Amino acid sequence: MLVVGSVALDTVETPFARKEEALGGAASYFSTAASLYNQVNLVAVVGSDFPREHLDFWRSRPVNLAGLQVQEGKTFRWVARYHMDMNARDTLDTQLGVYAGFHADIPEEYRRLPLLFLANIQPELQMEVLEQMPGACLTVLDTMELWIMTTRAQLTEVIKRVDILLMSEEEVRQYTGQASIVVGVRQLLTMGLKYVIVKQGSYGALLFGADGTYFSAPSYPLEEVIDPTGAGDAFAGGFLGYLSTVQPDLDGRYSIEDIKCAVVHGNIIGSFVCEDFSIGRLRTLTMDDIVTRYHALVDCSHFDPRWRNSMGMQSLAPR
Amino acid sequence: MLVVGSVALDTVETPFARKEEALGGAASYFSTAASLYNQVNLVAVVGSDFPREHLDFWRSRPVNLAGLQVQEGKTFRWVARYHMDMNARDTLDTQLGVYAGFHADIPEEYRRLPLLFLANIQPELQMEVLEQMPGACLTVLDTMELWIMTTRAQLTEVIKRVDILLMSEEEVRQYTGQASIVVGVRQLLTMGLKYVIVKQGSYGALLFGADGTYFSAPSYPLEEVIDPTGAGDAFAGGFLGYLSTVQPDLDGRYSIEDIKCAVVHGNIIGSFVCEDFSIGRLRTLTMDDIVTRYHALVDCSHFDPRWRNSMGMQSLAPR
């Protein structure tokens, strides 16, 4: 799979702790997460100040860095502070650095990759990437409030070209102007998307399909949230990482059961990321940890598909 | 089952509409909801101004009004306004009326009922009720921020005496002082509760058991939320209403599968209530509607309990 997006150095403050200049950026979280499942090909740019240790870490994983440009200048910086309810945060500073003049040049060897994640960058850049990847079998798009507000027309063109859109509930409301998520998502699905995945922070994620599919993936109850930064990008990494391990049908389509399962993997990886700053938890995460959490989510979300009705209420008969 | 709580006249304003002096109060929502499943015995007080039509409606259902006092004076009034995100609201006015001097006198015929819902009223009153119901097989307690802040000691005594506590996430944080719901709930469970149910508004509900059980019940995705007032009380009505139709074991205990199923019924009834002001939707709701939504929730929350892993990742083998 291929990811195009930001690699950054993040300074994050929560009500309980603070971390300076740690590895961040959507593409960093995605690549590290997805590399637990399969090879990831990363297209991004860093400045000449980017710590070599991060590159060495990715080289120790199946992360192909052939598309990672290193340019003279400063790496993208992001500074944010979380509220007591860590579903809410304020961005305090954004320094684009070398991203200011970035253009995504997709290496020839990447152009036939089947799975593409357009992480949260300018819609114009996302469109450039799409045009270089006409044969991608599944394209997934992430975005944020800034692009909805400032480059709505370009974002709309990108949405019309991809298969799956990831948005938070607030982003669905902002983009569609609908108070109801269900109505807003229906509007998005008329734009040609196959699926919309609504990220709900600590509440999990919802999957809506153009075919009428609806799936509510449970969230894993974390004892302690250290830092939710990157949970959405890691979700995408778990989602596409998992799909990269299953076979689509001959038309390149994934079954709905595989898509649901991929959403659960997204939730799992997103939950792990919150357990430490930066990609800290992903460094030590194993497939056994993922298996354990998968089965915990099965256990906590499945219930009797028939009624238990020992008093014989007539109308309670199962269909 | 028995419910003790408020019967009120509510004036509710949402960003889209306003309803004046409609039937409200926790015990009203609970009774109407639970009466879809079984007979409900209501203990509450109304003033001499209480519209007779509401009493007639309950008489048309299996709601026993022998414990409903009618006193000279005004019925309890509550006025509230919802935000654009209807998970948040402001209470604008509360007029206790005849509830100011209310004492719950449980009719003799009710005292051997197995299921008791202590709806959201003063903890002192809830304790009075508990003392009159020593043989109840399952006791469920609801409360609110006001009692956590003003009568914490009395509330604590009540919590120590009941089996199941219903709280919103915010109430768990307020009562326990813990930012983490998981840690807060664990603290609550040390007080002798069998289960804590955390209400999450439009995100569904979580069930935590003293035995380590964890269950995340999916929410039904509503196209339009007209008025979320009473959703928590209707949740309790669906929860206990359903349990009243199943047989506990010889020790009066319900199986965990029945408890999970009851939480799903709570979510279902809570979701229906949001589709109209007051108890409007519950007037027309049928058991067939409940069955349809139950199966929709099964379909949207269950996923493959095994991996689908056609590429043969070794460590992904199911347990």
Q: Min CA distance, A160 vs chain B (Å)?
A: 24
Q: What is the DSSP track for A81-133?
A: EE-SSTT-EEEEEEE-GGGGG------GGGTT-SEEEE-SS-HHHHHHHHHH-
Of A223, A287, A299, the CB nearest to B183: A223
Residues in chain B with CB shorter than 8 Å from the CB of A15 are 179
pLDDT tens-digit series, residues A28-84: 999 999 999 999 999 999 999 999 999 999 999 999 999 999 999 999 999 999 988
DSSP state letter for B1: -
Mean pLDDT of chain A: 93
Nearest-CA residue of chain B relative to A181?
A: B223
Q: At the top level of CATH, which class does the domain B2-301 belong to? A: alpha beta
pLDDT band at A88 (very low <50, low <70, confident <90, very high): confident
Q: In what order do the strands lie in the sheet with B40-47?
A: B63-71, B40-47, B2-4, B115-118, B138-141, B164-168, B195-199, B205-209, B214-217
How many Cβ contacts (< 8 angstroms) between chains A and B? 149
Q: Does A223 touch chain B if contact means CB atoms closer than 8 Å?
A: yes
Contact A5, A259 (CB under 8 A): no
Number of other residues whose CB lies within 10 A of the CB of residue A229:
26
Please give, rounded to a whole number of angstroms, the shortest distance from the CA of A263 to a CA of chain B: 10
Nearest chain A Cα distance for residue B300, angstroms: 4
Q: Round to whole Å and give the CA distance between B127 and B106.
A: 12
| pLDDT tens digits for range A284-308 | 999 999 999 999 999 999 999 886 4
- Chain B residues with CB-CB distance to A257 below 8 A: 303-304, 308
Q: Is B313 on the interface with A (CB under 8 A)?
A: yes
Give the predicted TM-score (pTM) of the model: 0.93
Cβ within 8 Å, pair B221-A216: yes
Which of B219, B260, B309 has its CB closest to that of A303? B260
Strand order in the sheet with A8-13: A18-24, A8-13, A76-82, A89-95
What is the average per-residue pLDDT within A126-149?
Answer: 96
| Residue A268: HSE in the Cβ half-sphere, 13 Å Cα cutoff | 29
Q: What percent of chain A has pLDDT over 90?
A: 89
Cβ–Cβ below 8 Å for B308 and A215: no
- Closest chain A residue to B312, measured at CA: A245
**A204 lies within 8 A of chain B by CB:** yes
Q: Could you tell me if B319 lies within 8 Å of chain A, comparing CB atoms?
A: yes
A94-120 pLDDT tens trace? 999 999 989 999 999 999 999 999 999
Q: Do A246 and B286 touch (CB under 8 A)?
A: no
Q: Is the pLDDT of residue A12 over 50?
A: yes
Residue B317's pLDDT is 36
Residue B307: the pLDDT is 64
A268 within 8 A of A220, measured Cβ to Cβ? yes
CA nearest neighbour of B44 among B129, B115, B108, B114: B129
In the numeric block, the tokens 């036939």 are attached to A112
Map out the domains of chain B as residue ranges. Answer: 2-301
What ipTM did this prediction achieve?
0.90
Say how far apart CA A271 and CA A156 lie, in whole Å.
30
User: What six digits make up the tokens of B226?
Assistant: 């007209």
For B264, nearest residue in chain A (alpha carbons): A303
In chain B, which residues have their Cβ closer than 8 Å to the Cβ of A301? 215-216, 218, 301-303
Residue B144 structure tokens: 């609110």
Chain A: give the shortest CA distance to residue B194, in Å: 17
Residue with tokens 């209420």: A313
Query: Tokens 């990157």 — which residue?
Result: A230
- Quick check: B301 and B204 in contact, CB under 8 A? no
Please tell me whether residue B240 adopts helix, strand or coil conformation: helix
Q: What are phi and psi of A98, to 5 degrees?
A: -65, -15
Does the structure show a pLDDT above 60 at A252?
yes
Q: Which of B180, B215, B304 sits opposite A300 (nearest CB)?
A: B215
Name the nearest CA neighbour of A44 among A65, A74, A23.
Answer: A65
pLDDT tens over chain B, length 319 residues: 999 999 999 999 999 899 999 999 999 999 999 999 999 999 999 999 999 999 999 999 999 999 999 999 999 999 999 988 788 899 999 999 999 989 999 999 999 999 999 999 999 999 999 999 999 999 999 999 999 999 999 999 999 999 999 999 999 999 999 989 999 999 999 999 999 999 998 899 999 999 999 999 998 999 999 999 999 999 999 999 999 999 999 888 999 999 999 999 999 999 999 999 999 999 999 999 999 999 999 999 999 988 644 444 544 433 3
Q: Does A153 touch chain B (CB under 8 A)?
A: no
Most A CBs within 10 Å, among B174, B293, B308, B313, to test the A interface: B308
Q: What is the mean pLDDT of residues A175-184?
A: 95
Residues facing B115 on adjacent strands:
B138
Q: Is B21 helix (H, G, I), strand (E, B) or coil?
A: strand
Please judge whether B219 and A216 are an interchain contact, meaning their C-beta atoms are less than 8 angstroms apart. yes
Tell me which CATH homologous superfamily contains domain A2-300. Answer: Ribokinase (3.40.1190.20)
Query: What residues of chain A lie within 8 A of the CB of B219, using their CB?
Result: 216
The answer to whether the Cβ–Cβ distance between A224 and B183 falls below 8 Å is yes
B250 in contact with chain A, both atoms CB, cutoff 8 A: no
What is the pLDDT at residue A87? 80
Q: Please, are residues A291 and B316 in contact by the beta-carbon 8 Å criterion?
A: yes
Q: Give the model's pLDDT for residue B316.
A: 42
How many whole angstroms separate alpha carbon B243 and alpha carbon B138? 10
* Cross-chain residue pair A264–B303, CB shorter than 8 Å: yes
